[in-house]
Chains A and B, each alone.
Chain A
């Protein structure tokens, strides 16, 4: 059966955190996680492609949700299944530090163990770190073509067609399947999880009983391969804001000061 794979991650809800510049740290008032917004759009794109039913000329395709990093729990995958994914695989592993290079290698093995895939969809960027390297890295690990920053994706008869925003308007691009496509956040309106499915997937009953699987990363790769390239070296907070700085001079000089300040901050 053709596989559409969606990589899904989570992000700490920014409305529950306070960034304290003076203390140089962030305070988590309410530890609540959201699906990465871009990954939610990727899941929506996958479900639409499945429903359109023309991925390989036939209507039978399954959507498989995989985590984009190693997570302490499988909540995001349960949510993906409740939203409409047919199957989800939770990757369990005791790895202190995970980066996208490591995940790309691990996910390439997962794709191979699944018997290949036709399309891999994921978010083009993450809300918190803003990094978008997982999609391209996985495409390289699999040796597939990639389309990044897609606004719209459809897959018809063994080809994937996506719409990207270029300098001078929207452009449709096409590649042969299998391919990796990364989807921008906010451009597709994602659906909500189905309530009954959500309950069933947490209870593990009915058709949800076998939807969620648990694979061990240690079975996929040898221990020495489970080494990230990126090492965290700390955090930097911007200096505290000084409010109330008066701009002096004639109106023209004031305007010049403001124009310079705005020029640095407003990017178009």
Chain B
């Protein structure tokens, strides 16, 4: 095998990214660091920033805060940042509001960004709102799509109402900077170009003291047990489900509640309080997986409000297929093992 590394050199035009001097403005992305790596939502935010930057004619900058995070700048450059600021300080190792706030507000007051993107994570939400109030910016939270009003260089963000029944589009035409928190999973992550490189700027800072102190783990609290009617994800079994153990495993994998139709009750798999039926429980979850449910009128009417329905049933004429978004004409016992494996 011949040495082909010269091809690599030939084809890859090493793109050394260098920043424009004293530019100001720009689109800034504040990185979320999870377990020592850049969180996926940050990459998605960089993807959104790149799209906006192309239309706006602006540079994209990334900011990483933490301890021992200098190496993460490489990922931000690869994802499309034109400049990266790294703030490496022991006081920033764990997220604490006041130190982070101080560092970011000093940075942004000096740099005067046009747009600032955060991930819509607990830390990002907390930080963005407070920072927006401090430096007088407008904030749109949980943005799922963004467009540009070029005439006023304003970003229009859409966010879900009633959990996504529809979307409200808003903008902050006058306030600068414009803050957006990007809903995880809403934007596609950009291609990580390994030939995109740059030298990050390290910032020297004096973070303040946190005002909220962690006391320690709190006992006696349990995650909420949600009634079936309000469960966000439901896996329901029917007469044709075959192996109910697999249904339970699927529910556990999806973090879903188990339910069923009257057939599952007759089979002794579920209790009476778990029957999805207009005479039992009416549900409207985000996701409803019907395994081996034929779908009579009473059952279908009780779950039609679900936002996304998957139906697995061997009979092509099963009425459940009239309400499902994804219909699988198959025996559940053939599909479920593969599905459990694919969800790994």
Contact = CB atoms under 8 A, between A and B. Distances in A.
Given A132-B129, A247-B327, A175 B211 contact: yes
Interface in A133-173: 133, 135-137, 139-141, 145-149, 151-152, 161, 163, 165, 169-173
Contact of B216 (A26, A104, A171, A234): A171
B127 to A, nearest CB: 8
B107 interface: no
A267 interface: yes
A14 B138 CA distance: 28
A266 B215 contact: no
Contacts of A152: 218, 221
Nearest to B327: A246
A107 to B, nearest CB: 12
B218 A101 contact: no
B218 A148 contact: no
Contacts of B134: 140
Interface in B160-190: 160-175, 184-185
B287 A148 contact: no
Interface in B110-152: 122, 125-126, 128-130, 132-134, 137-142, 145, 149
Interface string B300-344: 000000011110000000000111111111110011101101110
A149 B141 CA distance: 15
Contacts of A242: 325
A136 B130 contact: yes
Interface residues of A, number: 74
Nearest to B98: A145
A173 B122 CA distance: 15
Interface residues of B, number: 82
Contacts of A130: 141-142, 159-161, 163
Nearest to B223: A165
Contacts of A252: 338, 342
B249 interface: no
Interface stretch (A87-95, A202-210, A224-232): A224-232
B29 interface: no
B136 to A, nearest CB: 8
B268 interface: no
B165 to A, nearest CB: 4
A29 interface: no
A245 interface: yes
B254 A235 contact: no
Contacts of A255: 335-336, 338-339, 341-342
Contact of A104 (B126, B133, B149, B341): B133
Contacts of B322: 243-244
A163 B219 CA distance: 10
Given A140-B130, A231-B173, A255-B339, 10 more contacts: A19-B165, A129-B168, A137-B133, A145-B97, A171-B218, A229-B172, A230-B170, A236-B158, A236-B166, A254-B328
Interface of A: 14, 19, 21, 26, 99-101, 104, 127-133, 135-137, 139-141, 145-149, 151-152, 161, 163, 165, 169-176, 186-187, 229-238, 241-247, 251-252, 254-259, 261-268
18 contacts: A19-B162, A21-B166, A101-B132, A130-B159, A130-B160, A135-B129, A136-B133, A171-B215, A175-B212, A175-B213, A186-B224, A230-B140, A233-B149, A243-B309, A244-B324, A244-B327, A261-B308, A265-B286
